A = this chain, B = another copy of it.
Amino acid sequence: MPGNTFRKIFRLTTFGESHGYSTGGIIDGCPAGLPVNLAFIRDELKRRSPVYPGSTPRNEPDNIEFLSGIMNGVTLGTPIAFQVRNLKSRETDYDTLKNVYRPSHADFTYGRKYGIRDHRGGGRASGRETAALVVGGTIAKMLLATIPVEIRAAVSRIGTAAMPEDPESIISAIKMQQEHSVLQCPVDEVERKMLEQIEMAAETGDTVGGEVFCVIGGVPPGWGEPVFDKLQAQLASAMMSIGTAKGFEYGLGFGAARMRGSRHNDQMKLQDGQPAFITNHDGGIQGGISNGQEIYFRVGFKPVPSVKSLQKTVDNRGSETEISISGSHDICHVPRLVVVVEAMAALVLADKWLMAQSSRLDLLRK
């Protein structure tokens, strides 16, 4: 069970190196009869390439090809394979990186693990791999939309420019946003400060990290399996699978560690005769299972390690050296990751929905 397959019933297996023939994947377990909106998939893929001052220029559109599992625009229940071809492979660009380990990249660790590595553009450990996540996640989104479950994420921090910490105000700003802004931050004023952070980093050839906040509405109570497949455990696993992610928290997160129980607890009431919650500090999950409230979480990302300034490193021949990484690297990649966070959340939830089909004998289909 190597690591390129994600989740259990609705499952995605991905492949692809940065400069190989293509990247892509296979979705297995998607129920039959789901109409697939290709334009929506293309739009979601585009969200991986927001254009803003300091973003990597990308002339290359992600052309998605579906290889199986869909007939007349509807899923067949069989595996859905797809690929995004690499139109240009600029192999020679990378010759200087063949033998040297870029600091805080995966070069050294892949080299040690496998004894061989594809040095071109990060190989398997590349941002290109997220294309497959977005395609898989978008199909999961379309499946979830039939409930409907809605997943929306936004950039909540770049460097020291951040939205207010309290989840409520972030969630309400995300919901009010009509369309995706330049940096995918829903508050104009904060977004301006984020752009300043990027500009400041750009001036010195540097990069800067950030955070993505995600909120999910419409999940009914009962999704998530004790004890190791708790909904939050799988969301954490999903988010920490994204390259450069360094932290995950849901509900009040690390803030809860400072609190008293009487304050943190989500007390309950009746609303229209149904059980409801007075607060949502738990972030929509209790005991690993959704409680019907909004699910929300935050992911922290380190800055892209490809910086222009000179850094100390070693090569695979046992010498010390210095490296300056030029080329088309992002100053801040966090806006690109908003759609990736949503996609990974969708993959988790689609799987949990299907898994939840069999929890109760009285509700089984005979």
Contacts and interface: CB of A to CB of B under 8 A. Distances in A.
B15 A314 contact: no
Given A26-B13, A359-B77, A112 B222 contact: yes
A106 interface: yes
Contacts of A201: 260-261
Oligomer copy total: 4
B307 A22 contact: no
A356 interface: yes
Contacts of A250: 246-247
A275 to B, nearest CB: 5
A268 interface: yes
Given A3-B230, A21-B67, A228-B241, 17 more contacts: A3-B227, A4-B28, A9-B358, A15-B81, A22-B67, A77-B360, A109-B221, A113-B359, A124-B227, A125-B288, A157-B257, A237-B237, A257-B300, A267-B313, A269-B320, A270-B320, A354-B364
Interface in A199-235: 201, 204, 206-211, 220-230, 232-235
Contacts of A208: 259-261
A261 to B, nearest CB: 4
Sort A-B residue pairs by CB-CB distance and give the 10 closest, nearest first.
A106-B287, A3-B229, A3-B225, A247-B249, A207-B261, A109-B289, A32-B114, A261-B303, A237-B237, A256-B302
